[in-house]
Amino acid sequence: GESVGLHLPTLSVQEGDNSIINCAYSNSASDYFIWYKQESGKGPQFIIDIRSNMDKRQGQRVTVLLNKTVKHLSLQIAATQPGDSAVYFCAERNGNQFYFGTGTSLTVIP
């Protein structure tokens, strides 16, 4: 099966600092990637996506970087806010299926 993993299970940052969450994926044939945010007891929410023909994509306060050479994906959150506290996980698409990482728990310290 697929293997999508995160380097760090937990991350604590000071409010206002930038956050970086990393993800490693295993299948070089995956052509589409998504970052999700999940708050406790709720369903995942889409944050940002990127296709494999790109290496960077920016949204509002978030940036996703894709390094296909080392099969690495990262999510950067600028000026992290308390409302950003949640579990973040990446997903890769290969064929008809998505494969999900285990998640990183981000805690923002006021």
Partner 1 sequence: DGGITQSPKYLFRKEGQNVTLSCEQNLNHDAMYWYRQDPGQGLRLIYYSQIVNDFQKGDIAEGYSVSREKKESFPLTVTSAQKNPTAFYLCAAGQGVGEQFFGPGTRLTVL
Q: C-beta of 56: minimal distance to partner 1 in Å?
A: 18
Closest to partner 1 by CB, 20 vs 98, is 98
Question: What tokens were used for 82?
Answer: 């308390």
What is the C-alpha separation between 46 and 70, in angstroms, rounded? 24
Question: What tokens were used for 43?
Answer: 């369903």
Q: Name the site residues for partner 1 (rule: CB under 8 A).
A: 1, 4, 31-32, 34, 36, 41-46, 49, 89, 91, 93, 96-103
Q: Please name the amino acid found at residue 93.
A: R
What is the C-alpha separation between 90 and 100, in angstroms, rounded? 6
Q: C-beta of 6: minimal distance to partner 1 in Å?
A: 9
Question: What tokens were used for 80?
Answer: 């992290």
Closest to partner 1 by CB, 14 vs 107, is 107
Enumerate the β-bridge partners of residue 10.
105
Q: C-beta of 55: minimal distance to partner 1 in Å?
A: 19
Closest to partner 1 by CB, 41 vs 110, is 41
Q: C-beta of 52: minimal distance to partner 1 in Å?
A: 11
Question: What tokens were used for 17?
Answer: 């600092």
